[in-house]
Amino acid sequence: MSERVTPRVDIAFKKLFGVEENKDLLISLINSIVSKEDQIVDVELLNPYNPQNFQKDKLSILDIKAKGHTGKRYNIEMQISDVADYDKRALFYWARLYTEQLSQNEKYSNLNKTIGIHILNFISIPSTEEYHNTFKLKNDKNNVHHFKDIELHTIELIKFEDNKDKQAKNDKEDLVLLLSKIKTSLDRWAAFLSRVDLLVNRKLPKELNDPQIQKALDVLEVMNFSAQEREAYEAHLKWLRDEAGAVENALAKGLKKGLKRGLKEGLKEGRKERDIKIAGNLLSLDIPINVIAKATGLTVQQIKEIKKTKKI
């Protein structure tokens, strides 16, 4: 294979972490995200990846359901697009895994804590710059954490990748910027998931020198797809590239137009026009509203108004 498979595509993610022979990778990933009390030493895959099942249902099998050695449930999903009502869907997935624990006539006491882990290729929570956010059910008056069985984690890879004002001129500088962000085990996995392209044919630097990361790279190197899997992988990979390219091109054109105005007031108006035009262009490409908000600086409500006006 001329190009290493990227784990940011959901089918590759499931083939990497959702099989028996790679359970150690899944354990490492889960433990890098959850608290100390929810760490696992072993895991049972409740829906291991099966190529035959993929041919029958290409959508529902791409999340990973697992049970830890203490009985706690984990639902891990790589989500490539900001589908409608994603937040509600995340809660639904959590609720389904929680209730699936009970058979008829079983006691509620048999229910174990269930943790949802959503690794996202889009901005889901624009109100914070943190790429890892944890959500628990707490009393809003005194912060008491009483209902402890529900917990959701979001990992927004775009936020981890964001270099803000720093611009890399080549892959070497890109790698230096990436390594400067790595402080924790989750940072290592985020680096692997978001920029595996920088690690091709390279000896792992000390910041990423981890047996599980090395194994994950080795698995991707030899990963093979059936015809149906390859078709789905290429389609999802194209979506990722098209989205990234659309945002980058629209921003570049808009900035150029704004800078040509010269005068302070003209520049201000140019930016406003640029943002509106970019938002309209991206809406016509079906780019998620949260991604457009990050790219333009417009609010979600402003973008919705643009969508309504242009009847997109």
Please check whether residues 194 and 271 belong to one and the same domain: no
Name residues whose C-beta falls within 8 Å of residue 143's C-beta, 6 or more positions apart in sequence: none
Reported pTM: 0.75
Domain that holds residue 269: 228-310
| 207 belongs to a structural domain | yes
Residue 83 has pLDDT above 80, yes or no: no
Last residue in a domain, options 176, 191, 224: 224
| 5 belongs to a structural domain | no
Please check whether residues 103 and 177 belong to one and the same domain: yes
Please check whether residues 178 and 69 belong to one and the same domain: yes
Please check whether residues 92 and 25 belong to one and the same domain: yes
pLDDT at residue 72, as a whole number: 96
Please check whether residues 26 and 167 belong to one and the same domain: yes
pLDDT at residue 233, as a whole number: 85
DSSP classification of residue 135: E
**134 or 234, which is more confident?**
134
| 259 belongs to a structural domain | yes
Please check whether residues 125 and 248 belong to one and the same domain: no
The string of pLDDT tens digits covering residues 162-216 is: 766 566 678 888 888 899 999 999 999 999 999 998 886 567 888 998 999 999 9
| 3 belongs to a structural domain | no
Please check whether residues 220 and 242 belong to one and the same domain: no
| 4 belongs to a structural domain | no
pLDDT at residue 174, as a whole number: 87
Residue 266 has pLDDT above 60, yes or no: no
CA–CA separation, 62 vs 59, rounded Å? Answer: 6
CA–CA separation, 33 vs 184, rounded Å? Answer: 10
Please check whether residues 178 and 265 belong to one and the same domain: no
User: What total number of domains does the chain contain?
Assistant: 2
Cα atoms in the 13 Å half-sphere on the side-chain side of 298 = 26
